[in-house]
A and B are shown apart, each in its own frame.
Chain A
Amino acid sequence: MVFLNLPLLVRSRGPDEFWRKRRIFKLAAHYRSRTRNVYSFAIRSVHRALAYATKGRKLKKLDMAQLWSTRVEAGCQQYGVGLETFKEGLARSDILLNKKVLSDLAIWEPRSFEALVKISRERAAVEGMPDIKRRSAFNQVYGLSNLKLD
C-alpha cells in the first residue's frame, strides 16, 4: 500500500508559519546582511546567540565573584592584611558580610571598610592566626583588648 498524499502534508504547515518566522526575524533584526533577511541563516545565528546568552548567564556570576574578590583583596592590601585572613577574622567576629557588600564598602565607604579591617586584624592577632604576628597598638580596637582567650 502506497500513501501518495503523505509528502503533500509538508507543503501545508498551517497559517502560523509567518508568525513563527517573524519571531526569529525580530531576534535577528540587528544582524547584518542575509542573517537578518533569510530565515535559514537567521535561525542559525539566533540559536548560536541564545546559546551564548545561556552560557553567559553562568559566566557573568563567576566574573562578578572574581571581580569582588579582586576589589576586596585590593582594599585589604592597603592595610597589610591578606584576603583569607580578613575573611576569617570577620567570620570569627560574627560579621557576616559577603564579598559584594565588602567590595562596595571598600570603594564607597573607605572609613567603614577600614574599621572592618581593623576588627579583623585585631581578631586575627588575638587568636594567633599565622599571617598576623603581633597586635598593633596604633590600630587598637576597643573591646577586643579585654577579650579572654579560652
Chain B
Amino acid sequence: MSIAKRVQQWATFARTWHIYDCTWQNPFESAKLVKTHLLGLQKPIYHPMNDCGDHVVLINTREIALPGDEWVKRVYFHHTGYPGGASWTLAWQLHEKDPTMVMKKAVYNSMRGNLQRRHTMQRLHLFADDQVPEEILQNVTNQIRTPRSIPQRLDHIDKETLENFPNIMDYPKDYILR
C-alpha cells in the first residue's frame, strides 16, 4: 500500500458523528450498539489503545422504553461518600428528574470498568427531545439504525388516511355498536 493510499485508508476511519433516535428503544440493547460506536469497535483499525471512537448523539431519550415492569422495579443506587449519603431511586423517579440519566447510565454500565470509560463517555451527547444545537448537528454525518422498528400510534394517524381506509362494509346510519 502506498503512502497516499494509507493516508486515505486511515482517513476513511476518521472520527465521525452519529445520531441515534431513542424513541421506544430498549436502553440496554441500544447501549450495546452505542458502545460499539463510542469505542470504535465497528472499525477494522480498532485497538484498545487507539483513540478511534466516534461521537454519538442520542436524541429523544425521554421516549425510551424499559422492558417489563422495570420502570417501577429498577432501582438506581447513588452514594455521596459521606456517612448516610446513600440513596435508592426508582427508574421512573430518576427519569422525571433527568430524562437523559437512564440512557446515560445504560451506556456507562455497558462498558468495561477501566480508565477509558469516562473519556469514552465524553463522546456521548444526550438530548431529551429532538432539539439539538446547530453546532452539533453540523457534525453529524450518519444515523445509526435502530434495532426496534417503531409502530405508528393509532391516535397519530391523520384523519384523511383514517377516512379513506377501505372498509369491509358500511354500517347503516342507525346502527348501534354494542
Contact = CB atoms under 8 A, between A and B. Distances in A.
B44 A103 contact: yes
Among A67, A72, A74, A103, max chain B CB count under 10 A is at: A74
Interface in B69-107: none
Contacts of A78: 42, 44
B1 A70 contact: no
Nearest to B6: A108
Interface of A: 67, 70-72, 74-75, 77-78, 103, 106-110, 113
26 contacts: A67-B46, A67-B47, A67-B48, A70-B41, A70-B46, A71-B44, A71-B45, A71-B46, A72-B44, A74-B41, A74-B44, A74-B46, A77-B42, A78-B42, A78-B44, A103-B44, A106-B44, A107-B9, A107-B44, A107-B45, A108-B6, A108-B9, A109-B1, A110-B9, A110-B12, A113-B44
Given A77-B42, A106-B44, A109-B1, 13 more contacts: A67-B46, A71-B46, A72-B44, A74-B42, A74-B43, A74-B46, A75-B44, A103-B44, A107-B9, A108-B1, A108-B9, A110-B12, A113-B44
